A and B are shown apart, each in its own frame.
Chain A
Amino acid sequence: MNSIRQRSGKGTASLLLFTAPFLLVFAVFFLYPLARGVLLSFTDWNGIQRSVSFNGLQNYVELFTDDPRFLYSLWITFIFTALTVIVSNAVSLVLAVLIEGVRRFKNTLRTLFFLPYVFSLVVVGFTWKIMYIEVLPDIAKLSPLLEFLNLDYIGHPQLALYAVIVMNIWFSLGYYMIIYLAGIQTIDASVMEAASLDGATGWTRFRAMTVPLLMPSISICIFTSITSSLKIFDAIFVLTGGGPGYATESIALNIYYEAFGTANRFGYGMAKSVTLGVIVLLVSYLQLKFFKSREVEA
């Protein structure tokens, strides 16, 4: 300890030496664009012209008062996040508990349920496009009982969002399952056995023991699924492109179309980008506070 303190002058030099390589790329490709973007969000910049004039909060005011398409994308993102977080966590938690319950092929099951997660979302999007457009109608033809499967999943404004959500849950299910499995394996077997001996049956044990003891894993998964849902882009972009109309347009897609579509309003697009950044940071912060206050020691 002492020998390190004595080196303080040299210490600063070596601190900078070790951190410089990362700080350099970090400053150029992250800090600079971020700072520039935040600044530009207060201007009318269109990406081409040299002269840029500040227009104060005008972009932000327009965003929340005069841009129904953006406000709608907030709503879509909210629905998407709420449904995704609830369903994917519930399903993956139950799946993990079931897999932990079998004696054999545990690893094989784990490996296969995780498989979709290694695909790129573009491949996943194409796969599900085929499922929705061709396969489900083909299955519907097999029997009159399955007739209800013959729907226009991607083209129908009400169904399209659910179609995207189902696909996204299918893709990420294995990821959450892995985290829950890792959590379950840290639970002391004797605690569970004691509960069994006390006469706790499957559901009671799950509700009264497994869930509370898994609180750390649950908070990680909920945290991850909320933040990744708020910034959802790829899955929607490839499956529906935000359509039909704007029925599945998330905030990130709205930003993309604003910036790289025809309007070329970069300053305005940056105001949207900054808004998304602030939303994600705020929600992350609230979650961290919330989970810190109720975590149970496992």
Chain B
Amino acid sequence: MMRTSKASPLIGVLLLLLLVVYLFPVYLIALNSFKPFREIFDSFLALPQALYVDNYVRAWSSTNFAQAFMNNIVITAASVAGVILVAALAGYKLSRDRSRLSWFIYLLCTFPFMIPFYTYMIPLVQLSKTLHITNNPLALSLIYMSTGSFAVFLIHAFVKSIPRELDESAYMDGCSELGFFFRIIFPLLKPAISSVAILYALWTWNDFLLPFLVLTDKEAATLTINIYKLFGKFGSDWDIITASLILSSLPIIVLYIALQKYIISGVAAGAVKG
């Protein structure tokens, strides 16, 4: 560990000040979500005269919260589970198999990691329409699974740390390969898998453009889409907007506070491997 020998209290105070400034926007949104419109209009900075929760009642319906929340859960859960499954299978095998074909498949699977979504966005949206899978949260998670390149890459790298002797002893015991994978290897992949789960969950939960383009029905929309739609609908009705922003972010804030240690180390591990 690095240690700064002196001036530690001064740095502490400086950081505290920075933090206050840094989180000021979040504080203000939260603060104003508890004020009636008239008070917000008077001043954004003043404290609420009384705790006013009416905005949240209206935000619940304006964001179509219950349904959008469920859509988010379905999309994120299915995408993350799907990515983990297909990427673990592929990443493990591609790491173990040293043949030329395996190397070729590995390159094919991982090169798109650098290709921006915008490069193939237009034909992808067209394809979804042709296949009639728009407005289908489960089908959307298939599209997210197709972006599993980075997961394959992470798991591929991690498998190298699992000794090969393990595979060989299992073959001698006459274990079926898939059975061996799910019983022995899969549990050992836990660190890599949790990193994949966190990165993909954060990303699919908050993703905007792809869902915006393929989930056009009100019933299929996610929280992020419904927040975006508030722009047009409510203009500058900041009371309902601030409450909607907080309400729609609550699930991710709660999850972040509960799992902060894992989220931060998962993000760091993902970035460093990348």
Kindly list chain A residues whose C-beta atoms are within 8 Å of the C-beta of B26: 115-116, 127
Contact among A15, A17, A110, A182 for B105, CB-based, below 8 A: A15
Q: Pick from B45, B90, B109, B164: contact of A139, CB below 8 A.
A: B45
Q: Which residues of A32-84 have CB atoms within 8 Å of chain B's CB atoms?
A: 32-34, 36-37, 40, 47
A118 partner, pick from B5, B142, B263, beta carbons under 8 A: B263
Asked if residues A29 and B124 are in contact (CB atoms below 8 Å), the reply is yes
| Interface secondary structure of A, over-half rule | helix
Q: A34-B115, A37-B122, A119-B249 are in contact. Are A127 and B236 (CB under 8 A)?
A: no
Nearest chain A residue, comparing its CB with the CB of B205: A120
Which B residues contact A (CB, under 8 angstroms)?
A: 1-5, 7-8, 11-12, 14-15, 18-19, 22-23, 25-26, 28-29, 32, 43-45, 82, 85-87, 89-90, 92-94, 96-99, 101-102, 105, 109, 112, 114-124, 126-127, 142-143, 145-149, 152, 164, 167-168, 171-172, 177-178, 181, 202, 205-209, 213, 223-224, 227-228, 230-231, 236, 238, 241-242, 245, 248-249, 252-253, 256, 260, 263-264, 267-268, 271-272, 274
Cβ of A193 and Cβ of B3 under 8 Å apart?
yes
Nearest-Cβ distance from residue A256 to partner chain B, whole angstroms: 8
In the complex, how many angstroms separate the beta carbon of A107 from the nearest chain B beta carbon?
8
A215 on the B face (CB < 8 A):
no
30 A-B contacts, Cβ less than 8 Å apart? Answer: A1-B164, A15-B94, A18-B94, A22-B89, A22-B145, A25-B86, A28-B127, A29-B145, A30-B146, A32-B127, A33-B124, A33-B126, A34-B120, A109-B15, A109-B19, A119-B249, A120-B224, A120-B227, A120-B248, A122-B208, A122-B228, A123-B249, A126-B231, A196-B5, A220-B272, A227-B114, A238-B228, A255-B122, A256-B118, A270-B122
B109 touches A178 (CB 8 A): no
- Asked whether, in the complex, the Cβ of B228 is within 8 Å of the Cβ of A175, the reply is no
Contact between A130 and B238, CB atoms less than 8 A apart: yes
- Say whether, besides A29-B142, A110-B264, A118-B252, A34 and B105 are in contact (CB < 8 Å): no
Q: Are A4 and B115 in contact (CB under 8 A)?
A: no
Partner of A18, one of B89, B164, B168: B89
The chain A residue with its CB closest to the CB of B115 is: A277
Contact A19 B121 (CB under 8 A): no
A171 to chain B, nearest CB (A): 10
Asked whether, in the complex, the Cβ of A101 is within 8 Å of the Cβ of B252, the reply is no
Known: A12-B101, A19-B89. A100 touches B146 (CB 8 A): no
Bound form: Cα–Cα A181–B94 in Å: 32
Q: Please tell me which one of the listed residues A170, A178, A238 contacts residue B268 in the complex, with CB atoms under 8 A apart.
A: A178
Q: Which residues of A contact B120 (CB under 8 A)?
A: 30, 33-34, 37, 273
Residue on A nearest B112 in the bound complex, by CB: A30
Query: Pick the contact of B22 from A26, A102, A113 — CB < 8 Å?
Result: A113
Contacts of A295 in B (CB 8 A): none
Q: How far is the CA of A178 from the CA of B148 in the complex (A)?
A: 23
Q: Is the CB of B241 within 8 A of A126?
A: yes
The reply to whether B248 and A123 contact each other, CB–CB distance below 8 Å, is yes
The contact of A182 among B2, B118, B207, B272, by CB within 8 Å, is: B272
* Residue in A15, A115, A273 whose beta carbon sits within 8 Å of that of B93 in the complex: A15
Interface of B is mostly: helix
Least distance between B260 CB and chain A CB atoms (Å): 5
Q: Once the chains are docked, how many angstroms separate the CA of A269 from the CA of B118? A: 10
A135 close to B45 (CB less than 8 A): yes
Residue of A nearest to B177 (CB): A14
Report if A291 contacts B (CB, 8 A): no
In the complex, the answer to whether B118 meets A123 with C-beta atoms within 8 Å is no
Is A149's CB within 8 Å of the partner chain B?
A: no
A218-256 vs B, CB cutoff 8 Å, 1 = contact: the mask equals 001000100100110110011000000000000110011
On chain A, the residues within 8 Å of B202 by CB distance are: 118
Taking the nearest CB of chain A, how far is it from the CB of B82, in angstroms?
A: 8
Is A102 within 8 A of B122, CB to CB? no
Q: B264 contacts A276, CB within 8 Å?
A: no
Q: Knowing A33-B127, A102-B11, A113-B22 touch, does A21 contact B208 (C-beta < 8 A)?
A: no
Contacts of B15 in A (CB 8 A): 98-99, 102, 109
Q: Which residues of B contact A28 (CB under 8 A)?
A: 127, 142, 146
* Cα A251 to Cα B90 with chains together (Å): 34
The yes or no answer to A281 lying at the interface (CB within 8 A) is: yes
Give chain B residues whose Cβ lies under 8 Å from the Cβ of A21: 85-86, 89-90
B32's nearest neighbour on chain A, judged by CB, is A130
Complex interface: chain B residues within 8 A of A102 (CB): 8, 11-12, 15
